[in-house]
Amino acid sequence: MDILMPKVGLTMTEGTIAQWHKHEGEHVNKGDVLFTFETEKSTLEFESPYEGVLAHILAPVGQLTPCLAPVAVIEERLEIRDSRFRTGEKRREIGDWRLEIKPQSPISNNQSPISNLQSPVSPRARLRARELGIDLNTISGSGPDGVVLERDVLDYQAHATELQATNAISNLQSPISNLQSLSPARRVTAQRTAESARSAPHVTLTTEADATALVSAREQLNAELNEKVSYNALLVAIVARALKEHPQLNASWADGSVALHQAINIGVAVDTPRGLYVPVVLDATRPLAQVHRDLTDLLARTLAGSAGGDDFAGGTFTITNLGMYEIDAFTPIINQPQAAILGVGRIQGKPVARGEQVAVRQMMALSLSFDHRVVDGAPAAKFLQRVKTLIERPFALMV
């Protein structure tokens, strides 16, 4: 029985095997974890739907595989027996397929034995070789009595492909010390950011907010809720309020039109060992305590690789916070088709003039990148100004 690459959610088109938990030739029980695979959004385990022997692994670790493509073969049995003999022909059964071994014509004096004595070939191997355009005479069989199996054809193809890639690399003028294959998350990030940079006319506005009151408010919230509220949760609540007042930024570019969204769903960019992910807080205008708990749960599951496809769907605006890396202002790339993304820098004590006095205040840099097809500079500036005001007066969220 073929084991197929799972399809998790409507948007998944391919996956990568991260780890095989069984080896070829090993017995597999129904329900055993057969392999771990990565999608562009999560890492999941696959349990075997069958009991049998893992006859062959078709998709090695790290290989990008389309959904519903075979990644392994499980045989219910692997026994060899002579089924019948007859003059001039011998037939054997191996598992669920049969081999036909027919007598070769006598070798003449001017013929090479190698060109006439071909190893027996399984039907699946013959079909796969025909699909790939591979000469079966060039393949050595690893099956019983030298039978050429499907895995022998695939191994030959993989080796040929690897050899071609190696030769191509060696012909490059500039030396390459190491080539790394892209994870599904890294591949999607590369595709989407490149497309966004090409197609959306980016404009970035920067400002600086006095976050002293925000720092104080967070300390009070921590004491009141008896748990640590993240700055990201506060920023989600602040941005949600600003979007409610400036709906032009809660929009998307849609094939030459602008779609204004009723729901305010805010994505928060998260760096994980598997790449960049953007889980989405749905209905971010809810009370801050609910937003905080939802975001905490989302981030934990995203970092663990257990978040599902629905956790990353429906975003209408994105926040990316690099403050923990001591970054100030930067130019974030829009998470298309959304209209804008807010970049948040670190909170840092700085001397600031307040009237005739100079005081040390906790300052935060903000960078708003927006799609000029969707919104003009002045409305975007008003939105960023409102975000700045709410950071400086966070208790306005209570009104």
Classified as helix, coil or strand, 202 is: strand
DSSP β-bridge partners for residue 317: 266
Residues 31-50 pLDDT 10s: 999 998 888 777 788 999 99
Structure tokens given for 129? 């070789």
d(CA 186, CA 338): 20
User: 101-127 in b/e burial notation, b at 16+ Cβ within 10 A?
Assistant: eeeeeeeeeeeeeeeeeebbbbeebee
Q: Look at residue 32 in the predicted model and tell me its pLDDT.
A: 92
Q: Look at residue 170 in the predicted model and tell me its pLDDT.
A: 60
CA distances from residue 104 to 84, 88, 115 in whole angstroms, order as listed: 19, 9, 11
Look at the block and give the residue holding tokens 């404009």.
203
d(CA 202, CA 211): 27
Q: Look at residue 77 in the predicted model and tell me its pLDDT.
A: 60
Q: Look at residue 113 in the predicted model and tell me its pLDDT.
A: 40
Q: Look at residue 175 in the predicted model and tell me its pLDDT.
A: 57
Q: Look at residue 327 in the predicted model and tell me its pLDDT.
A: 94
For residue 103, the one-letter residue type is P
Q: Look at residue 110 in the predicted model and tell me its pLDDT.
A: 45
Q: Look at residue 111 in the predicted model and tell me its pLDDT.
A: 43
d(CA 218, CA 253): 35
d(CA 313, CA 375): 23
Residues 304-332 pLDDT 10s: 888 888 899 999 999 999 999 999 999 99
Strands 357-371 and 340-354, how do they pair?
Answer: antiparallel
Which residues of the chain fall below pLDDT 50? 78-115, 117
Q: Where do the domains of the chain lie, and which CATH numbers do they carry?
A: 2-75 (2.40.50.100), 81-104+115-167 (4.10.320.10), 201-398 (3.30.559.10)
Residues 89-113 pLDDT 10s: 444 433 334 444 444 444 444 444 4
Q: Look at residue 47 in the predicted model and tell me its pLDDT.
A: 92
Q: List Cβ neighbours of 129 (8 Å cut-off, separation of 6 or more).
A: 121, 135, 136, 139, 153
Q: What is the pTM of this model?
A: 0.63
State the greatest distance between any 2 C-alpha atoms of the chain, in Å, as a whole number: 111
Q: Look at residue 208 in the predicted model and tell me its pLDDT.
A: 96
Q: Look at residue 91 in the predicted model and tell me its pLDDT.
A: 40
User: 277-308 in b/e burial notation, b at 16+ Cβ within 10 A?
Assistant: bbbbbbebeeebeebbebbbebbeebbebebe
Strands 89-94 and 64-66, how do they pair?
Answer: unpaired
Q: Look at residue 123 in the predicted model and tell me its pLDDT.
A: 73
Q: Look at residue 290 in the predicted model and tell me its pLDDT.
A: 94
